[in-house]
Amino acid sequence: MTFADLDLSNQLQYAIDDLKFEKPTPIQQEAFPVIRSGKDVVGVAQTGTGKTFAYMLPILRDLPFLKTQHPRVLVLVPTRELVLQVVEDIEKLSKYLNIRVLGVYGGVNINTQKQGIAQGQDIIVATPGRLYDLALSNVLKLKTIQKLVIDEVDVMLDLGFRFQLMNIFDLLPEKRQNILFSATMTEEVAFLIEDFFKNPEKISIAVSGTPLENISQIAYDVPNFFTKVNLLLHLLKDKTTFKKVLIFVGYKRTADLLFKHLEPVFGDESCIIHSNKTQNYRIRSIKQFDEGFNRILLATDVMARGLDFDNVSHVINFDTPDFPENYMHRIGRTGRAEKLGNAILLSTAKEQKFKEAIEALMDYKIPLNKLPEEVKISELLTEDERPNQEHLQSKNRVTAEFKSGDAFHEKSEKNKKVNLGGSYRREIAKKYKKPKTRGDKNYNKRNKKK
C-alpha cells in the first residue's frame, strides 16, 4: 500500500510527496480508517513506527477550515521536547492547509502562550501541567475540543500527570473522539481507558517486547562504572562506525558524571540533555544532534522518549534499565523507518537481573561480546559501588553499629543548659521583680513599698 491508497486530500498528498514518503507504516495504515470513522481508538505500537503521522493524517484529512478562535484538536504529550517535535510534524503535514497550530509547555513565559491562544488556534499541542494552568486562566476554552489525542500516555502516567489528566478530562466536552497511543499497555493505562473511553477499537501492531528485526543487538559484561567509561571511549573513537550515537543513562547524576569524562575527549562532538538543563540548552542540543553538528548525545530516558532522530547509527545503553520495556523504547531510537540500526547494552554484575528480564521480555538472548584487549579494567569505584564497610561513618549515629572516634567529647558545662521555658521566665521575674505586664503600675508601687 502507498499513501495514495489512503484517500488523502490533495494538500496532504502534496505534503507527503515533499517529505518523500512512499509507503505508510503498519500503524499508519491500520489507524487511518478507524480514526476517520470517529470511534475512540487505542493504538499500541513500538516506538519509531510513525505514531504521530498515524493520528495526524486522518485528523487533518477531515479537519475543515473554520474561522474560530478556540481550538478543535488537543494533543497531550509528556515532555516539552515532544511538544516541539509534534508541532513540527503537524506543520510539515499542513504545509498546503490553512491550519493554525500552537505548542504550549512549562518553563517559559505563560503570557506569551496566552497571547498565542488569544489569536486563535485550531490545534493545541501541550504538556498536561501547562495546559491545565492555561485552562484555569480562562484564556483557553476546552469545550470546543472535538478530538483528544494522548500520545506516549505510559510515560505521562509515570511522570505523575494522572491528576492533571483527570482534571483536564473534566474540562472537556463529553461528546468527543478519544485517541490514545502508547508503546506499552500498563495496568494504569488500562484503567484510564476503562474510565474515559467509549468502546474503543484497539490497534496493536507489535507486542512491546518484540525485538525490532532491523536492529542488531550486542552486550558487554563490564565490572564497574569507570570500566564502562573506558569501553565507551574506546568504541566512540571509531568515528566511521559510530557516526551518530545516542547514549542512554537512567539518572541525571550519572549522566553528568559520564559527560565529565566524554567532553574532554570529544569536545563539541558531544552534548547532553536531562530535566535539570535549561530549556534553551536542551532544544539547542537536540537540534544540533539531529542536524549532525554533534555526533554524540547523552540523554536520560524521559528526555529522549518519543523524539525522532534521523539516521542514528547506534544506541548505547550505558546502564541496564530497571524496567525491560524501557530497553525497547531506547533501542527504538535507531533503525527507524525500516532502516538498519545497532544497539549495545553494558551491564555490571548487579545489573544482570535486569538484563535477564529484558531477554525474557523479548524471548531473545542478546549476543555477548568480550571486552576488547585495549580497554583497561578500572579498579576505581563510584560511591554506589563501594562495599558497605566503607560507609560505616555514614550510618545513623544513634544505631548500635556507630562508635564515636577521638573527635567526639563530652559537652562543655555551658552547652549542657536546657531551655526551661515558662518556669525559667518565672524565676527571672521573681529575681528582678519585673512587672507581670508593662502597664501593671500598681504591682510596681506595691513592690517599691516593700
Round to whole Å and give the CA distance between 258 and 249: 9
Does residue 174 lie within any of the structural domains? Answer: yes
Q: What is the pLDDT of residue 309?
A: 83
Q: Which of 47-51, 207-211, 213-217, 352-356 has the lowest mean pLDDT?
A: 207-211
- Considering the domain architecture, whether residues 170 and 22 belong to the same structural domain is answered as yes
- Rounded Cα distance between 123 and 177, Å, is 14
Q: Can you tell me the distance from the alpha carbon of 406 to that of 261, in angstroms, rounded to the nearest whole number?
A: 38
Name the one residue in this structure whose C-alpha cell is 525491560.
324
For residue 361, pLDDT over 60 is answered with: yes
Is the pLDDT score of 217 beyond 50?
yes
Total Cβ atoms within 10 A of residue 259? 17
Contact between 275 and 299 under an 8 Å Cβ cutoff? The reply is no
| Residue 436 counted as domain residue | no
The domain that holds 58 is classified in CATH as 3.40.50.300
Name the least confident of 236-240, 311-315, 419-423. 419-423
Output the nine-digit C-alpha cell for 426: 518565672
Query: Would residue 411 count as lying in a domain?
Result: no
What mean pLDDT do residues 208-234 have?
88
SS3 call for 347: strand
DSSP letters, 390-434, are GGGGGS-TTSTT----TT--PPPGGGG----THHHHHHHHHHHT-
Same domain for 277 and 343, yes or no, is yes
Looking at the structure, tell me whether residues 226 and 354 fall in a common domain. yes
43 shares its domain with 92 = yes
> Which stretch of DSSP H or E encloses residue 148?
strand 147-151
Higher pLDDT, 257 or 158: 257
Closest residue by Cα to residue 86 from 9, 149, 144? 149
Average pLDDT, integer, range 123-140: 93
- Residue 146 burial (CB < 10 Å; 0-12/13-18/19+)? middle
Statement to judge: residues 229 and 248 lie in one domain = yes
Of the three residues 144, 171, 204, the one that is the final residue of a domain is 204
Judge whether 189 lies within some domain: yes
Whether pLDDT at 426 is above 80: no
Cα dihedral 275, 322, 75, 172 sign: negative
Residue 442 has pLDDT above 60, yes or no: no
Per the domain annotation, does 447 fall within a domain?
no
Q: Which pLDDT does position 418 carry in this prediction?
A: 63
**What pLDDT is attached to residue 449?**
53
Confirm whether 401 is domain-assigned. Answer: no
390 φ/ψ angles, rounded to the nearest 5 degrees: -75, -5
**pLDDT above 90: residue 105:** yes
Report pLDDT for 419. Answer: 61
Q: Evaluate whether 79 touches 130 at the Cβ level (below 8 Å).
A: no
Residue in the block written with cell 495526524: 56
CA distances from 324 to 152, 333, 353, 450 (A): 17, 15, 10, 86
Which among 160, 179, 204 is the end of a domain? 204
pLDDT, tens digit, 9 for 90 and up, residues 265-289: 999 999 998 878 877 888 888 889 9
Question: Is residue 149 a contact partner of residue 55, using CB atoms and an 8 Å limit?
Answer: yes
pTM for this model (two decimals): 0.71
Length of the chain: 450
Q: Tell me how many domains the chain contains.
A: 2
- Do 239 and 340 reside in the same domain of the chain? yes
Helix, strand, coil % (nearest 5) of the chain?
Answer: 45, 15, 40
State which of 204, 223, 255 marks the end of a domain: 204
Residue with cell 470517529: 38
Through-space distance between the first and last CA atoms of the chain, rounded to whole angstroms: 111
Question: Quick check: 179 and 147 in contact, CB under 8 A?
Answer: yes
Domain housing 74: 3-204
Same domain? 164 vs 199:
yes
Indicate if 354 and 289 belong to the same structural domain.
yes
Same domain, 269 and 192: no
Same domain? 198 vs 265: no
If residue 43 lies in a helix (H) or strand (E), which one and from where to where? strand 41-44
Q: What would the mean pLDDT of 66-83 be, rounded to a whole number?
A: 90
Question: Is residue 424 a part of any domain in this protein?
Answer: no
- Judgement on whether residues 182 and 222 belong to the same structural domain of the protein: no
Segment 8-19 mean pLDDT? 94
Q: Is the residue at 394 inside a domain? A: no
Shared domain for 177 and 239, answered yes or no, is: no
